[in-house]
Amino acid sequence: MGSWATVAPAITSAFLASLVEVVEAFTVVLAVSTIRGYRPAVLGSLAGLVLLGLLVVVLGPILNRVPLNLLQIVIGILLLLFGMRWLRTAILRAASIISLRDEQLKFVQTTASLKDDALAHQARLDWLAGITAFKAVVLEGLEVVFIVIAIGAGHGLLIPASLGALAAFVLVLIAGIAVRRPLARVPENTLKFGVGLMLTAFGVFWTGEGLGVNWPGSDLAILGFVIVFLLIAVSSVAFARRLVTEIAK
């Protein structure tokens, strides 16, 4: 396992990124349980979790057979694609260029869609509700699995990253069961901003290592990259806001 300079960002990134994904999945599962009760929601979610578990069991051993340099390059590139996509979205949302995600709205949309299905397919509604919950858990869960593998593989950080993701899952489950409403107050864009920064920093670090770069300061370089991208992102938000205001005038 690496030093705290890599372990702490790994746990934090996995926790925060998973928090975003689990909140999104919870909104859909909650909508399903509101319309059709807990049975299809729980069964669909459990089926999704089983599928994700199988994927991890199958993918884990394969990853161990890939040469470290190749693994670092592939995962580094995937982290860059994933992290910079989140960072770009977070910057554009912070600059009010694209709209923020609204969990309450998503809940209303999913509920309405299930009600429409209820009219069209009354007999199969439990099945459709279960599939909706299953799909949400698999889609959002796949992102969590990727994040955990991307952060953890290649640096012996799979366990800390998994613990971060598990903590997010437990937290959302407890909060969700307590309030029984979409967790709309979770500051999703701020989380995406922070996670996008960390994943991009990890992506630069690992792609570089895969290409043979010995970064000055070793693992500490990751923190340096986080600061560099933070400055760039904050400046980009301010610049984009000004640009949009000027164009509007």
Partner 1 sequence: MKTLLAILREIAGLFVDDGSLAFAILGVVAVAAFLAFVLKTSALAVGLVLLAGCAAVLIENVIRTAQRN
Compute the distance between CA of residue 209 and CA of residue 206 in angstroms, rounded to an integer.
5
Q: In the complex, what is the shortest distance from the CB of residue 231 to partner 1, in angstroms, rounded to a whole number? A: 9
Compute the distance between CA of residue 171 and CA of residue 247 in angstroms, rounded to an integer.
43
Residue type for 230, please? L
247 counts as binding partner 1 under rule CB under 8 A: yes
1 counts as binding partner 1 under rule CB under 8 A: no
Site of tokens 């309405």: 112
CA atoms within 13 A on the CB side of 142: 7
DSSP structure string for 155-194: TT-HHHHHHHHHHHHHHHHHHHHHH-S--TTS-HHHHHHH
Q: In the complex, what is the shortest distance from the CB of residue 28 to partner 1, in angstroms, rounded to a whole number? A: 13
- Contacts with partner 1, 124-163, as mask; x by CB under 8 A: -------x--xx--xx--xx--x-----------------
46 counts as binding partner 1 under rule CB under 8 A: no
For partner 1, the binding residues in 54-83 under the rule CB under 8 A are: 73, 77-78, 80-82
# residues contacting partner 1 (CB under 8 A) = 46
Whether the CB-CB separation of 25 and 106 falls below 8 Å is answered with no
Other Cβ atoms less than 10 A from the Cβ of 211: the count is 11
Segment near partner 1 (CB under 8 A); pick from 29-37, 55-63, 94-102, 165-173: 94-102
Q: In the complex, what is the shortest distance from the CB of residue 88 to partner 1, in angstroms, rounded to a whole number? A: 6
- H-run or E-run covering 191: helix 188-210
CB within 8 A of 131, min separation 6: which ones? 44
135 or 181: CB nearest partner 1: 135
Closest CA relative to residue 150, chosen from 140, 162, 139: 162
- Contacts with partner 1, 165-204, as mask; x by CB under 8 A: -----------------------------------x--xx
Whether the CB-CB separation of 187 and 170 falls below 8 Å is answered with no
29 counts as binding partner 1 under rule CB under 8 A: no
Binding residue for partner 1, selected from 43, 97, 159, 230, defined by CB under 8 A? 97
114 or 233: CB nearest partner 1: 233
Whether the CB-CB separation of 32 and 114 falls below 8 Å is answered with yes
Site of tokens 């005038």: 249
CA 101 from chain centre, in angstroms, equals: 14
For partner 1, the binding residues in 201-220 under the rule CB under 8 A are: 203-204, 207-208, 211-216
Q: Give residues in contact with partner 1 (CB under 8 A).
A: 73, 77-78, 80-82, 84-85, 87-89, 91-92, 95, 97-98, 131, 134-135, 138-139, 142-143, 146, 200, 203-204, 207-208, 211-216, 225, 228-229, 232-233, 236, 239-240, 243-244, 247
